[in-house]
Amino acid sequence: MKTLAACLLCLAAAAAGTPLLAEDGSPWVLRGYGLWLSPAGDEVLVVRPGPGGAPERTTHSITEDGTGLGLALEFLWTPRLGVELGALAAELDTDFRLEAGGSSLTDTETMGITAYTLGVNWHFRPGRRIEASLGAWTALSFYDDVIFLTEAGRREKVFVDDDYGFGAKAALDVPFGRERAWRFSSELRYLVTILESEVSGQDLDLSPLILAAGLGYRF
């Protein structure tokens, strides 16, 4: 909540100033998009004594791509410099494997992710037919707990801490329509984030590559 409040204060401070507006519109751009995530494919391995004292190995991994939705509001402080506040929600398939006594049991469940983002964008081609930008951003991410249930009835709960992450993005906008208010938007993001398991204390490197596409409106 403190981070979200800080983001809102940043936008309020920007809105209270006197920006250098672009010639073709207002300083506010709202974008909605669908997104595809490709995680780093890391895993957490835990070895512990099982029933009877024999060692058992449990592995939790995130290797499958996921999808989601996002919304972002950008304030153009100048035609080239923008401050962006956003939110995204996505789901990733996570795998669990239990190896004990010469047998292997597996299960796949879905982990939900919600993230709030704050970033700064530099626009190279404002007012052009295709507008390009580069940006840096930070994210506060929240992860759902995951409960795995194997074929043999073994129940295992995996939960991780919330995490701050940092990343970079490259984006393209193609304005269209009356007064070029509407725009096709696409972007490629990379986020560096590490999940810390509250059970084993081990880190799971998520660090997804995010591809997003959708529509925007300048108002």
pLDDT (tens digit per residue) in 164-179? 899 999 999 999 988 8
Inside any domain, residue 4: no
Residue 76 and residue 29 in contact, taking contact as beta carbons nearer than 8 Å: yes
Inside any domain, residue 164: yes
Show the tokens assigned to 213: 């596409």
72's CB contacts (< 8 A; 6+ apart) are: 30, 31, 33, 84, 85, 86, 87, 117
Inside any domain, residue 3: no
CATH number at residue 56: 2.40.160.20
Residue 216 and residue 179 in contact, taking contact as beta carbons nearer than 8 Å: no
**Confidence at residue 19, expressed as pLDDT on a 0 to 100 scale:** 46
Inside any domain, residue 137: yes
For residues 116 and 198, which has the higher predicted lDDT (pLDDT)? 116
Q: What is the tens place of the pLDDT at every residue in 148-165?
A: 876 666 677 777 778 889
CA dihedral of 17, 183, 213, 90, whole degrees rounded to 10: 50
Inside any domain, residue 7: no
Inside any domain, residue 189: yes
Residue 59 and residue 45 in contact, taking contact as beta carbons nearer than 8 Å: yes
**Confidence at residue 134, expressed as pLDDT on a 0 to 100 scale:** 97
For residues 169 and 203, which has the higher predicted lDDT (pLDDT)? 169
**Mean of pLDDT values over 11-31:** 60
Q: How many structural domains compose the chain?
A: 1
Inside any domain, residue 204: yes
pLDDT score of 195 more than 80:
no
Inside any domain, residue 10: no
163: domain range?
A: 27-218
**Confidence at residue 155, expressed as pLDDT on a 0 to 100 scale:** 75
